[in-house]
Amino acid sequence: MSDKSFSVPCRAERRRAARCKPVNRQQLLLRSVDVEKLVEEDHPVRAIWELVEQLDLEPFYETIEAIEGEAGRSAWDPRVLISLWLYAYSRAVSSGREISRRCGYEPAYQWLTGLEVINHHTLSDFRVQHGQALDELFVQVLGVLSHEGLITLERVMHDGVKVEAGASGGAGEERAFGVGFARAETYASGPVRPGEAAESPGEHDRSGGSDHAAAWRGVCAQL
């Protein structure tokens, strides 16, 4: 007869149980956020915002119905909306719905809005209402910033995949993005005033802070 009183523990039984730190994804946290430090000092979104602050955008403010001293909800500052679209275009994003979504988690968008999430209807309505004026503004600003080396335009690689557009903007936003992007690239190759010779982007020295300031002077002179 076999002795059943003795048994050899299997490998699984002999192995010691490892204790690992659990990850709790159900917890709610309250933490402070320094909005100004969400993006680096030399982040492209800062270049876009600084330039937009210097533009004459009075026509965009004239259409705002909310008036100081009167009841009603305040409107979004056109400078914020324009900067959002400009930054989105520079990152190959052409949908108001996608911009709104990124306002909820992407630092550059959060920095522009102060952690607020702007409704995609607001973004798309603004884009449609000021369509022609924005097209020209986007082409010149993105082209000049790219030419000066302050931002890099990210070309959309189609490969049979269409640029996604929000439902409220539809194909119109997609077409505007494609045409505007191509024009911005052309403008970036050398926006010059009459009588001036075009300068190759490679001729710019972009190695230091003084060159950055010089680039800004060139940007302001071209707009």
Give residue-wise pLDDT tens across range 62-94: 989 888 888 888 999 999 999 999 999 888 898
Lowest pLDDT segment from 16-30, 103-117, 165-179: 165-179
Q: Judge contact between 136 and 180, C-beta under 8 A.
A: no
pLDDT for res 10: 63
For residue 119, pLDDT over 60 is answered with yes
> Which stretches of the chain are DSSP H helices?
11-14, 44-53, 58-62, 78-90, 96-102, 107-113, 120-129, 131-147, 170-188, 209-222
Q: Which residues contact 185 (CB under 8 A, 6 or more apart)?
A: 143, 146, 153, 155
For residue 169, pLDDT over 80 is answered with no
For residue 179, pLDDT over 90 is answered with no
The type of residue at 22 is: P
CA–CA dist 120, 41 (Å, integer):
28
Up-side HSE of residue 102: CA atoms within 13 Å toward CB?
20
pLDDT for res 13: 59
Q: Which residues contact 116 (CB under 8 A, 6 or more apart)?
A: 103
pLDDT for res 81: 97
Question: Average pLDDT of 131-148?
Answer: 83
Q: Judge contact between 84 and 113, C-beta under 8 A.
A: yes
Banded pLDDT at 137 (limits 50, 70, 90): confident
Up-side HSE of residue 39: CA atoms within 13 Å toward CB?
20
Question: What pTM was computed for the model?
Answer: 0.65
Q: Which position has the higher pLDDT, 204 or 14?
A: 14
Question: Average pLDDT of 114-129?
Answer: 96
Closest CA to 152 of 191, 201, 197: 201
Return the structure tokens found at 104: 């909820």
Per-chain mean pLDDT for the chain: 74
